[in-house]
Structure formats: C-alpha cells, structure tokens
Structure 1
Amino acid sequence: MLRETMQLKIAPSILSSDFAILGEEVKRITEAGADYIHIDVMDGSFVPSITLGSNVVKSIRKYSPLPFDVHLMVSNPEQHVEQFAQAGADIITFHAEATVHIDRLIDKIHSLGKKAGISLVPSSDESILNYLYNKIDSILVMTVNPGFGGQSFIASQLNKIKNIRRKIIESKRNIDLQVDGGINDSTAKMCKEAGANIVIAGSYIFKDRNYAANIQSLKQV
C-alpha cells in the first residue's frame, strides 16, 4: 500500500475531450499538469464503441512531450501494436482477455522499444498476472466495464487493487498500478489507499474548462 503522502500521478483520458480540437486539448492538459496522456483505442469488437486509430495518435504527438499511454481495447491486439509504436506511443497497454499469448505480446512490445501494460476488466481475476510480474511495466485495473465514458465506479475492484499492489511489492520491481473508470476526487482517494499510483480520469477532468484545478484536486487527495 502506498504512503498517504505520496502524490498520485494523473493521466487524463482524451476520450472525454473535444475531438474537434483534439491537439489543442492535449496541449492544454499538458500545460495544466498532467503526467501522462491516456489514449483509449476501441475497435467496436472487444468493446462496443469505435474511437481513435494510429493516424490520430501520430497527428497529436507533436502537441505534448508527455508519455502517451495507448490503451488498446481491441481484439487481437498483437495485430496493432507495431503501428501504434510507430505513431508515437510510449506505453502500449492491452487487455489480458483479448489475446491468448500474453507473454509473447509483452516481448513484442518491448522489442519495439516501448513499455508494456496489461489491463483487466472487472470480471477478470488478478491471478492471471501471477507469472508476469517479472517483466510487465504497468497494470491497469478497470473499475468500470470498458467501452463508454461517464460510468459509475465499481467499488468491488478495490480489493483487486490491494492484491495486485501486494504482488508488486513482493516482486521488488517498479511496476505502475493504474486505475481507470469512474474516477473523481473521492474514488481517486480510495484507489490511492488501495495501492494505485496512477489514476486515469476523463469526465472529471474535462467536465469544464478548469483542467488545472481538476488535475490538482486529484493529485492532492
């Protein structure tokens, strides 16, 4: 579990931004104090919605020096990692439920010079990660069912976050533990207390034009 004095890192999800001025939105949240840019990629298969492709990632890369974490909510992610790596992703996060050969895909992402993350939907048990702590760079716990923004936080996932943090400590590796879904100042505090060090927020940050204030309110929980 993290110390209460440790500040959370914040990754705004641009899924909730104004797509008509996406580059400017990325620039604004960077200047507002974000630590990462979280990019949700949906294919209409693994999840119902369809969102951004690699060309969009490439086009917004120039608007921020921050790490781009591309979250692939897609079936067969192994078919897509190379194009997103070339487009400017720094971290490529894929779903454990979307591919059979998880270990192989981690190696492929690393071979492209990128960090590899694994995401779990609420119905997935964290034990699927047990053989991966020696090589994974980040873990993303979904606290909503992926596919849409603005959903309510699923509190039962807090125990999963605690269990994963315990495993990270046992691994003695510097693995980021991210949480995504229904994040606000109240749920961010719960996630931090459970062991998360990064929270992903969309609706909460982009709900108004006060990006800096919204980011700081999450950092200071």
Structure 2
Amino acid sequence: MVNKKIILSPSVMCSDLTALKEGISELEKVGITDLHVDVIDGAFSPAMPLGIDTIKKVRDITDMNLDIHMMTTNNEFFITEMLNIGVQSISFHVETSLHVDRHINMIKKKGVKVGLALNPATSLSVLDYTLPLCDYVLLMLINPGFATDKNEQQVPYALQKIKDLSNLIQSKSLSTSIQADGRVSLESIPNLLKAGADNLVLGSTSLYRSGRTLLENKQYIDQLISDFQRG
C-alpha cells in the first residue's frame, strides 16, 4: 500500500462558487489533477451545491479529471447525465440503488471508473459480490451532505472501517482504491493513509483550510504523504 499512488481530490463545493473558474485555475496551478464534484439532489440530503448545467460549465473550463460523487435517489438519471457530460469517475450510493449491478455496468461500458459509496453506518457486507467490479469504494466518514455543520466530527469507527475494507481488498487480491470523504483534515490524513485510504477528498479542514494559502496547504499535504510513503 505504501507505494500506491495517493490521489488528492479537492471538493469543488468547498471553493468559492462565485468564482468557480478562478478557483479551478488555482487548483491546476498547484498541481491538482482531480476534482471531486458532489451531485446532491436535495432529497438524499438537504443540500444542492451544484446543478447539472454548472457541472457542464466546469467540464468546459478544465481538463482535470472530474470525480463525481452522486448523493441522489434517481441514480440512473444522474448517471446518464454525468456520462453525457464526459466525467472520469462516478460513485453512487448503494443505499439508494435498487439495481446496483446495472448501474455499475452502465458506467463501466462507457470506459468511466466506477465506485460504490457507503454511508458511515452501512456495512461492508454490501460489497460481498460487487467489490471486484469496482475501481474504488468511497467511504463517507461523516453523514453525507451535512458538511456545513462545522461541529460534525468523523464517526468514531472511521479508521476501523477503512482498515477492514483494506483487509477485505487484500484478501481478494484486488487493487480497488479506497476514497475517504468527510473531515479529511491535516491532522487526520496520516492515520487515514495508515489505515489504507489512497484517495483523499479534501475540503475546508485541509486544502482549503484558513491561515495558509492553497499552495502552502498543498505542500503540507504533499509532505504528509511523503512522510507516510517513506514509512
């Protein structure tokens, strides 16, 4: 795991949405290649940060990999919309999918990476038959869509769940990536990496943390990753 590439996926909804083009340009300048985009329908959770038309505009202004995290109830509709936009990866929640296998195949047939997203309390047992089909698994470490609650902390079993998933992946000799999402802070990153996460969704407690510039925070995170990889 230590030699596995660590992917940084800044959450676009943590940037200044009134200056989206400038914010994306700044991410590109500091060497970010992946952009995490939450698609929330207002029913799955009480938030709607970006509409479909805005995501289309984001696709027009950047060549970054668009990593879509769907927090939706009508998954087939949103999968189709995201595929038409031309994104690089899509994760959807097992909790709202009646036809998980069908949705996985819809995405894979278009050559797009597919991930299954799990709410904090959702058991890893839902992956029993689908894990080999996934490029990655997104583990929510807080309740999804409630990021505006600055007092919400990662669930106490966050690290254990990542460790358990990492062990499951290794036991099946798979190369599935583990994406950690929710209060991925400068303080928590080392432990998340040790537990087995290799894709970090970055927000207000890390890359966009106040007190430092975006570049300074990026350099600090790079150093944390370097320290981890050196063991």
Using structure 1 for the length normalisation, give the TM-score. Answer: 0.92
Deviations 1:180-203, CA, capped at 9 Å, x for gaps: 111112111111010000110111
CA contact (8 A) 1:10 1:219 kept: no
Shift of 1:37: 0.3
Kindly indicate whether the alpha-carbon contact (under 8 Å) linking 1:115 and 1:137 is maintained by their aligned counterparts in 2.
yes
Amino acid at match of 1:207: R
In structure 2, the gaps of 5 or more residues are 225-231
What's the CA shift for 1:6?
5.7
Shift of 1:7: 6.0
CA contact (8 A) 1:24 1:63 kept: no
Q: Given the superposition, is the C-alpha separation of residues 21 and 90 from structure 1 closer, same or farther in structure 2, using an over 3 Å criterion?
A: same
Unpaired stretches in structure 1, ≥5 consecutive residues: none
Which residue of 8, 15, 28 corresponds with 2:26? 28
Whether 1:18 aligns to 2:8 is no
Secondary structure of the equivalent of 2:207? helix
4+ residue segments displaced more than 6 Å = none
Q: Could you give the per-residue CA deviations for residues 121-171 of structure 1, whole angstroms, max 9, x where no partner exists?
A: 111011111211221111111111011324422231211111111122233
Out of 196, 206, 209, the position equivalent to 1:207 is 209
Q: Within 5 A, what are the aligned runs for 1:75-154?
A: 75-149=73-147, 150=150, 151-154=152-155
**Range with greater deviation from structure 2 (39-48 or 204-213):** 204-213
Q: Which residue of 2 aligns with 1:43?
A: 41
Distance 1:115 1:68, change over 3 A: same
CA distances 1:46-66 after superposition (whole Å, capped 9, x unpaired) = 111112122111101233322
Q: Secondary structure at the match of 1:185?
A: coil
Deviates more, 1:145-154 or 1:50-59: 145-154
Residue 184 of structure 2 is matched in structure 1 by: 183
Correspondence list, 1:46-57, <5 A? 46-57=44-55
Distance 1:86 1:216 in 2: 35
Using CA pairs below 8 Å that are at least 6 residues apart, which structure has the higher relative contact order?
Answer: 1
Distance 1:167 1:34 in 2: 29
In structure 2, the residue corresponding to 1:186 is in which secondary structure?
coil
Answer yes or no: is the 8 Å Cα contact 1:55–1:87 preserved in 2. Answer: no
2:104 partner SS: helix
Size of the aligned set, in residue pairs, is 219
In structure 2, what is the Cα distance between the partners aligned to 1:134 and 1:144? 25
Residue aligned with 1:161, SS: helix
With normalisation by structure 2, the TM-score equals 0.88
Identity %: 30
Q: 1:167 to 1:122 in 2, by over 3 A?
A: same
